[in-house]
Amino acid sequence: MPDYAFRVTVVYCFFFKDEHVTAGVLCRAVLCCAVLWSSCGERNFSDSRIRGFVPTPTPLFPRVSRNNPRPTVFPPGGMSFARAARSLCRSLVRARAHRLYLSSSSLSPMEHVTLTTPAAGVLVVELNRPKALNALSDALMKDLGVALAHAQQDQAVGAVVITGNDKAFAAGADVKELAREHANREDCVKKACLKTWYDAMGATSKPKIAAVRGYAFGGGCELALACDIVIAAENAQFGLPELSLGTIPGFGGTQRMIRAVGKSKAMDLILTGRRMKADEAERSGLVSRVVPVERCLPEAVEAAQAIAALSSPSVALAKRAVDAADAFVALDEGLEFERQLFYDTFDLDDRREGMAAFCEKRKAAFTDSAVAHATSSAP
C-alpha cells in the first residue's frame, strides 16, 4: 500500500521550502495536510519517516509561518478527506503557476519588495522593510522600479497593486539615508536626489492601485498620491510632515495633494503636518474608498482584476485622458519646480537640525523658526 502520510509530508515540505509561495496558499496547504495526515492515521509526528523533512512538532500550532513550520495535530473540523485533497491540489497548481511566472521573467529575487500574482492580470508589489515601517530608501525604490518596469513589458499584467503591511503602507522616506547621503544642495543636484523615485513610478503607464493600511506619511503619502487609485483601510493615516524636518515634500506632495484635495486642505496638511484619518481622506477625495483592514488588499486586487479584464489599449487611452485633465497646470513643470525647491532646503541649517534630531530621536530645535525669533527678541 502506498505510504500516503509520507507523500503528504513531502508535499507539505515543498510549500515551506518555496519562498515564493504566498501566505494564503501556505496556510491553506498546511490545513489540508493536517486533514490528510489525520485521515491516514498519523498522530505521532515524531515518526522517523518525517524526521529530516520538518522540525519536531508540538501539539499546539497557533500560527503558520516559515519560522515555525509545524503541522497542527488536530485538523480543522468540517473538512473531508476529498475536499482537503482537492484544495491541496489547487494550492499546488497555484504555487507552481506562480513559480513559473517568476522564473519566466527576467526578475531576480529582490530584497525590498515581494511580488505575487493573486489573480490573472494582476501584479501585487508589497513593500518589504517591516522593521523600518517600509521607509522608502533608494534601494527599495530601485526594486520597485524594476518590478514596475517588468509589469510594463509583460502583456499579462493589466494593473499593479502597491501595498505594505497592516501597520504601515510606508511611513515616509528613509530620513537617515537622506541625511547621510546629501549634505547640501550641490550633493542633491550631483547625486540626482529622488530621481530614482521618479524613475520608479514612471516605469509603467499601467494603472497603479495603492492599497493603504496603517501609516502613509511623507514619501509614503506621496507614493500613494502617485498611484491612480487609492483604496484605504479603516486604520490608514495620511500626512506630509516634511516641514518638521526642515524640508518640504519632494516626491510630488505639493503638486499632487492640491490636485487631490484642493488648495485649502493641501495647505492645512502640508503647513501643519497633521495626520488625516481614512474617513477624512475619503471625504476630501484623496482616497476612492475606505474598507475594513482585512478587506483592503482583496478589494484592491478585485479592482485591478476588473481593470485587467478590460481592453488594454482602451484602458491606456482612458488613463491618458484623465491624467491630461488632471494636469490643468503642467505637472512635469510643477514637479521639477518642487524638486529644485526641495534641493534648496539641503543648504538650510534647519534641514540639518531636523534630520539630525530625527536620527537622534529628539525634538528638533530650529533656529530659523518664528518661535525661535520671537524667543530671541523677547526682553
Q: Which of 97, 131, 146 is where one domain is finished?
A: 97
Instruction: Write the pLDDT tens digit of every residue in 221-269.
Output: 999 999 999 999 999 999 999 999 999 998 889 999 999 999 999 999 9
219 among known catalytic residues: yes
**109 and 86, same domain (yes or no):** no
The predicted model scores a pTM of 0.66
Instruction: Write the pLDDT tens digit of every residue in 10-21.
Output: 555 555 545 444
**183 and 292, same domain (yes or no):** yes
Residues spanned by the domain of 54 = 4-97
Report if residue 192 sits inside a domain: yes
**151 and 14, same domain (yes or no):** no
Report if residue 379 sits inside a domain: no
**82 and 161, same domain (yes or no):** no
**136 and 172, same domain (yes or no):** yes
Instruction: Write the pLDDT tens digit of every residue in 68-120.
Output: 444 443 344 455 666 666 666 666 555 554 444 444 444 556 889 999 999 88
The CATH number covering residue 298 comes to: 3.90.226.10
**Quick one: which of 335, 323, 333 has its CA closest to 197?**
335
Report if residue 372 sits inside a domain: no
173 among known catalytic residues: yes
DSSP letter for each residue of 171-197: --B-HHHHHHH--SHHHHHHTTTTHHH
**275 and 233, same domain (yes or no):** yes
Given the residues 29, 95, 211, 242, select the one marked as catalytic: 242
Given the residues 42, 126, 222, 338, select the one marked as catalytic: 222
Given the residues 214, 219, 252, 253, select the one marked as catalytic: 219
242 among known catalytic residues: yes
Evaluate if residue 273 carries a pLDDT over 80: yes
Given the residues 5, 95, 151, 173, select the one marked as catalytic: 173
Q: How confident is the model at residue 274 (pLDDT cuts 50, 70, 90)?
A: very high
Dihedral sign computed on CA atoms, order 258, 263, 264, 267: positive
pLDDT at 335: 77
- State how many domains the chain has: 2
**74 and 120, same domain (yes or no):** no
**110 and 67, same domain (yes or no):** no
**18 and 154, same domain (yes or no):** no
Q: Which of 43, 73, 97 is where one domain is finished?
A: 97
**140 and 75, same domain (yes or no):** no
The three-class DSSP label of residue 33 is: helix
41 among known catalytic residues: no
Report if residue 354 sits inside a domain: no
